[in-house]
Structure 1
Amino acid sequence: MELIQTIEQWAWIGWLVLILLFLVIEMLTLDFTFLMLSIGGVAGLGTDLLGGPIWLQVVVAAVVAAILLLALRPPLLRRLRRGEDPTLSNMDRLIELPGTVVSTVTGLGGQVKLSNGDLWTARAPEGTTLTPGTPIRVTRIDGATAVVRPAQETESPLA
């Protein structure tokens, strides 16, 4: 019984440590998840300061955090990401980019020239051999190698 009384007597320190821990994690992630959990911790601390038992403190903290996570976090994330540039960048921009085979491309290697003018080391799916002049499309980027597939007949290689 004495252990439970000691925990209830010093619970406010635990709430403060938990709140600070969640705030530090939030500063590193910037995702609003741990901010909502820390506000739930503030609600638990408030319940402790009002004299509530430890089980009530945990329930209040959990309910407040859950409500904030479900109700407040999504609109905050939408507002935060509202001004993002939707333009693809870096490797994402190369996916589905057309090009032409420069030197024979097999499952082991080869070289292609993409429509943006870049020369890339390329690899084709296993069992596929692409000869020079064959129109291709990039399916993915694997390190510094473009994984390519033959372009369909209706597609223009440098469109």
Structure 2
Amino acid sequence: MSALLWLAAALILVGAEALSGELVLLMLAGGALAASGVALFDLPLVVDGIVFAGVSVLLLGAVRPVAKRHLMRRPMLATNAEALQGKTATVVATVDGHGGQVKLDGSVWSARALHESDVFESGQDVMVMQIDGATAVVWKG
């Protein structure tokens, strides 16, 4: 009977993990699953608790940091605005610290100079330093 309780606890913890996403409850669910396996042998409840605590601590200390690091890793391929940083653009309308326009990858973008004092004239090539909303922040290329 206690094996079913441990299994139910594991399922509840997995469900709760789906809402939190921190991987803590998932590690506790692993401990509860291990305890349910031990409970099949009709050992005292204290043994189930020790197995639950030991496996949970082991998973929290060894598996969770590796899993978090794997989940937080950025993709190797830059996409969206990140892919535009470092590209060369051509000034279409004079760009200064307050505004202007550049042609970037075939599209016209609002732009402003990285430094307030910089002014880039039409036809000049500039480098995109960052994308700020829908504005390309540029610097001399």
For Structure 1 versus Structure 2, the TM-score category normalised by the shorter chain is 0.5 to 0.7
CA contact 1:139–1:149 (8 Å) conserved in 2: yes
Contact 2:10 2:30 in 1 (8 A): no
Give the letter for the 2:13 counterpart: L
- In structure 1, what is the equivalent of residue 132 of structure 2? 142
- Alpha-carbon deviations, 1:54-87, whole Å to 9, x = none? 973434421244333357x48xx59xx9xxx854
Give ranges in structure 1 of 5+ residues lacking alignment: 1-9, 152-159
Counterpart residue identity of residue 58, structure 1: A
- What does residue 21 of structure 1 align with? 13
Could you tell me the TM-score, scaled by structure 2's length? Answer: 0.65
Aligned to 1:157: none
Seen in structure 2, the aligned counterparts of structure 1 residues 25 and 127 have a Cα distance that, compared at 3 Å, is farther
Percentage identity across paired residues of the two chains: 31
Deviation of residue 36 (structure 1)?
Answer: 3.9
Aligned in 2, Cα 1:18/1:102: closer, same or farther, shift over 3 Å? same
| Coordinate RMSD, CA, aligned | 3.9
* Counterpart amino acid of residue 123 in structure 1: R
TM-score relative to the length of structure 1: 0.59
Deviation, structure 1 residue 90: 2.0
Match of 1:52 in 2: 46
1:69 corresponds, among 64, 79, 91, to 64
The one-letter code matched in structure 1 to 2:78 is L
Per the alignment, do residues 42 and 54 of structure 1 end up closer, same or farther by CA in structure 2, a change over 3 Å counting?
Answer: closer
Deviations 1:96-152 (A, max 9, x none): 1101111111121100112x211110011222221212210111111111111110x
Q: Which amino acid aligns with 1:108?
A: H
**1:25 maps to amino acid:** E
List aligned pairs for 1:90-129, cutoff 5 A.
90-114=80-104, 116-125=105-114, 126-129=116-119
Contact residue 31 and residue 53 of structure 2 kept, 8 A: no
Q: Do the aligned residues in 2 keep the contact of 1:140 with 1:148 (CA within 8 Å)?
A: yes
The code of the aligned residue for 1:110 comes to: G
For residues 43 and 110 of structure 1, do their structure 2 counterparts lie closer, same or farther at Cα, with a shift above 3 Å needed?
same
Secondary structure, in 3 states, of the residue corresponding to 1:52?
helix
Aligned residues of 2:36 and 2:48 also touching (Cα < 8 A): no
Aligned residues: 131
